[in-house]
Amino acid sequence: MKPIIDVETLHLVLALLLVLAVLAISYRERLGLERDLIIATARTFLQLFVVGYFLVYLFAWDRWELVLLTLTLMLAAASWIAVGRLKRPVPGARWMAVVSLAVGSAITLTFVTYVVIGVEPWYDPRYVIPIGGMILGNAMTGAALAGERFQSELRSRVEEVETLLALGFSGLEAVQDLYRSAIRAAMIPTINAMLAVGIVQLPGMMTGQILSGTSPLIAVKYQVVVMLMITCAVALSSILFLRLAVRQYLTPAHQLRRQLIL
């Protein structure tokens, strides 16, 4: 097998020409994207190189405590971002995100690394960190989507919910339809991704593996696992998050807290 071509630093700088071209277009077409483009490009370089060096050390140290610590920090960041995406988070949304992402991701990650792949030792950062990252990232998006969708459904269907409450349905029964459509909204991007995978473009992880010299068949097997685990993590995390969040909109006396939705 041919050895993998490392991108030389000078050549990486050449890749900047691509962004420079976009900058020129943005300037000429008055898109006003120059500032954002420059910041985004700089952050891409910075963040990825920091992560790259961090991973080099993490792999070299090879300690389970550090792997768990890293996963915890990733969990905190994912929860923070998920709640930040909500327009009006309910009180306590942050810890709800932590709990739901932690539970949903931990179950999925443990199953995938321990049972499916059989990582040895169990904490091998080369596997656990990138797989954990994919799981957390998708779970985060799913929980945020579910939360956002539930709130907008509640806002537009408040009269329907109140009609059911007035008829004597419990709070959870009254919002059940909204809950279901929020979970569906969170799951649809993942299901669509499974339907389209491989037809137009190869997923990032598979591309990376192939570029780094892995046999496409191994890459495919990993990708299948990735798709299935993302589906599971998104479902678990968004359901857990919404189950916790929905209760905040209701009082124990089956009253709707209107001040949270208007």
Partner 1 sequence: MEMTTGAEAELILVCRKVSGGYSVDAQPHREVLKSISFQVHAGECLSIAGPSGSGKSALLRLLNRFDDPAQGEICFRGKPLQRFDPLEIRRRIALVLQNPVMFHGTVRENLLRRPGRQDLSEPPLVQALEEVGLDRSFLDRIATELSGGEKQRISIARSLLGGPEILLLDEPTSALDPRSLRLVADLITQLNRVRGLTLIVVTHQVDLIHRLGGRVLVLDRGQVVREVRAEQAGSLLEEHE
Residues that bind partner 1 (CB under 8 A): 159-160, 162-170, 173, 253-256, 258-259, 262
Residues 6+ apart with CB under 8 A from 69: none
SS (H, E, C) 146-214: HHHHHHHHHHHCHHHHHHHHHCCCCHHHHCHHHHHHHHHHHHHHHHHHHHHCCCCCCCHHHHHHHHCCC
CB 238 within 8 A of CB 146: yes
CB 246 within 8 A of CB 172: yes
Between CA 149 and CA 158 the distance in angstroms is 14
Q: Which is nearer to partner 1, 55 or 169 (CB)?
A: 169
Q: Which is nearer to partner 1, 47 or 163 (CB)?
A: 163
Task: Tell me how far, at minimum, the Cβ of 153 lies from partner 1, in Å.
Answer: 14
Nearest alpha carbon to residue 77 among 56, 35, 113, 47: 47
Q: Which is nearer to partner 1, 200 or 262 (CB)?
A: 262
Task: Tell me how far, at minimum, the Cβ of 157 lies from partner 1, in Å.
Answer: 9
Task: Tell me how far, at minimum, the Cβ of 85 lies from partner 1, in Å.
Answer: 25
Q: Which is nearer to partner 1, 93 or 250 (CB)?
A: 250
Task: Tell me how far, at minimum, the Cβ of 184 lies from partner 1, in Å.
Answer: 16
Task: Tell me how far, at minimum, the Cβ of 186 lies from partner 1, in Å.
Answer: 23
Q: Which is nearer to partner 1, 72 or 255 (CB)?
A: 255
Helix 125-156 vs helix 176-196: crossing angle, to nearest 10: 140
Task: Tell me how far, at minimum, the Cβ of 246 lies from partner 1, in Å.
Answer: 17
Q: How far is CA 13 from the centre of its chain?
A: 30
Helix 125-156 vs helix 64-84: crossing angle, to nearest 10: 20
Between CA 82 and CA 93 the distance in angstroms is 9
Q: Which is nearer to partner 1, 99 or 169 (CB)?
A: 169
In single-letter form, the type of residue at position 191 comes to I
